[in-house]
Each structure stands twice: as structure tokens, then as C-alpha cells.
Structure 1
Amino acid sequence: MIVYRITKAVYASQLVASGGAARWNGRGQFVIYTAATRALACLENVVHRSGEGLHDVFRVMVIDVPDELTIETIAVSDLPADWSDFRQYDACQRMGADWLRSGRTAVLQVPSAIIPHESNYLLHPGHPAFSRIRLLHTEPFLFDPRIKAGPDV
């Protein structure tokens, strides 16, 4: 399976996690967020980079997750009804933390909070099988100037 991550070019040469808190992990929990498509990776950036803007130099990371790796899945039906609301980060972070601590798999499929029926894939750099996940290459990425992020839209 191929997954995608759009990041600032300076961070695009290797698969590393910042440890910053996000929907599925708390601060200090190292997770690499990827998306099933380039388009979803783009939208994730638009939503989460509103304060930073979209004018830096970005790259698409094209990542291979071997088909034989087990992928754990959190389905929408496993989540509270309002799980996509930012006030539900605690519930999602608890589920992500449980997955990280358990070491059950190197990959966790989670629903996109932006596009229904789409998925993001979290990669666990501390898992033994993570070494089988490969950054295939990177591609230049420019956000279309018509895309506006932030409250000044």
C-alpha cells in the first residue's frame, strides 16, 4: 500500500515523528501521520497549517507500507458520535495511545475527520516492523494559490 505525507521540504528526507500532540496522539508520543491519497494529505495540511500558512517549500513523501504488514483499524463505529469535533481529542488520543503502548501493529488506520469514508494511516516508528516501511521518494508540492487557510478566508 502506498500512503502520502506532505511536509515542509526540510523534514521530507526521512520518516521521523515530532512528538507533537495531534488528534490520535498526545505530546511526546511519536507517530507519523500519513494519508491514503495526495488530495487528503493536502487537505490535512490546509486544515492544520492555517497558522503557519502554505507558502513554504513542501514535498510529498511517497511511502510504501508492505502489504503483508498487519494494519489495525479504528472504525467510525468505534468512536463517539462527535469524535471529529476538536473537543473530542481526548477520546481519540486515548485510543491512539493504547495502540502505541500495545505495540500490536506498526500501522493504524483511522477515519479522516475532514472527508467521510476516507482514511489516514498512522505509522509507529518504535514498532519492530516499522523498519520495513520505506520512503520511496519525494515530489515537489505547491499548494494552489486559490487555497486559503485560516480565518481570513
Structure 2
Amino acid sequence: MYTYRIAQTKYAADRNASGIDGRWNSRGRYVIYTGGSLALSCLEKLVHTAGTSLYAGDFSVTIFNLPAGLAVKEITQADLLKHNSQWQKVINYPITQALGDAWLQGMQTAVLKVPSAIIELEHNYLFNPAHPDFDRIKIAAINKFTFDERLRTKN
């Protein structure tokens, strides 16, 4: 299985996580976010990056290969709805951060499959670089990525 991460080209081969807080981790918790499709990764980058930097930046897509048999823990939409019907709203980050932090701390798997907050039927895949199985996840390719000008928000 392949997952995708769009980042500045200078970081494309970097297998380290920044520790910046996000939907599924609190500050100081190290997670690599990837998308289950290139299109989802593009949308994720669009909603989390200021518009002008998308067109001024030098981006690449890193394609990760998750080997067959690699254990993946999943948090489902149903799991999240038990906590809050509007789990995807930014105000509810503490809910998803607690779930992600618990996964990181539990060290059960190197990969966590989570629902996309953007597209209900899509999934993101989070990597725990501290897990022993993380070394089994390989970079399959790194390719230049350019955001289409039509994706700019209109004023």
C-alpha cells in the first residue's frame, strides 16, 4: 500500500517528524502525516497552508510504501462520533489529539489509520517514527509537485 505526503522539497526525504501540534497529536508529540491518496494529500496541504506559499514554494510528493503484513491501528468514523458528532471541527482538536497521543504512547503500531476531516470516505495514515516497525516503511519515490493555479482561492 502507498501513502503520500506533500512537503517542501528540501524536506521530502526527511523521515523525521516536527513535533508541531496537529489534529491527531499535541505539541511535542512526533507524528508524520500522510494521505491515502495523492489527491487527499493535495487537499490537506491546501487547507493547512497559506495560499501564497503554495505557489511560491518548491514542493515534492513523497510516496511511502507500507509493506504487506504491517500492523495498522484504525480509528473509525463511528469511534469518533461516540466522542463528538462534530469531531472534525478545529475546536474539537483536543478529542482527536488525545486519541492520537494515546496511540503514540501505547506504541502498538507504527501506523494509525484515521478518517479525513475533509472527505468523509477518505483516510489519512499517521506514522510513529519512534515505533520499531517504522523502519519497515520505505520511501518508494519522491517526485516534484506543483499546485495547479486553478486551486487558488478566488477573491
Q: TM-score, normalised by structure 2?
A: 0.94
Aligned mate of 1:135, from 122, 134, 139: 139
Measured in 2, the distance between the counterparts of 1:72 and 1:133 equals: 15
- Cα deviation for residue 51 of structure 1 reads 6.1
Residue 50 of structure 1, CA deviation? 2.1
Query: Which residue is equivalent to 2:42?
Result: 42
Shift of 1:53: 2.4
Partner of 1:148: 152
Q: How many percent of aligned residue pairs carry the same amino acid?
A: 42
Shift of 1:15: 1.5
Which AA in structure 2 matches 1:74?
I
1:107 CA displacement: 0.2
Q: Greater helix share, 1 or 2?
A: 2
Contact in 2 for aligned 1:60/1:140 (Cα 8 Å): yes
| Distance in 1 of aligned mates of 2:38 and 2:130 | 25
Q: In the alignment, which residue of structure 2 is the partner of 1:67?
A: 68
The residue number in structure 2 matching 1:90 is 94
Structure 2: which 5+ residue stretches go unaligned?
none
Tell me how far apart the structure 1 counterparts of residues 131 and 53 of structure 2 sit (CA, whole Å): 33
Does the 8 Å contact 2:7/2:59 carry over to 1? yes
Q: Does residue 13 in structure 1 map to residue 17 in structure 2?
A: no
CA distances 1:103-143 after superposition (whole Å, capped 9, x unpaired): 00000000000011100000000000001100111001000
CA distance in 1: counterparts of 2:140 and 2:99, whole angstroms: 29
Separation (CA, whole Å) in 2 of partners of 1:118 and 1:82:
17
Name stretches of at least 5 consecutive residues in structure 1 with no aligned partner: none
Q: CA deviation at 1:14?
A: 2.4
Conserved in 2, the CA contact under 8 Å of 1:19 and 1:29? yes
* 1:22 and 2:22 correspond: yes
TM-score w.r.t. the length of structure 1 is: 0.95
Q: Equivalent residue of 1:30, what SS?
A: coil
Deviations 1:26-79, CA, capped at 9 Å, x for gaps: 111000000011000000000000266202010010100112111000001111
The secondary structure found in structure 2 opposite 1:146 is helix
Aligned-partner Cα distance in 2 for 1:52–1:104: 39
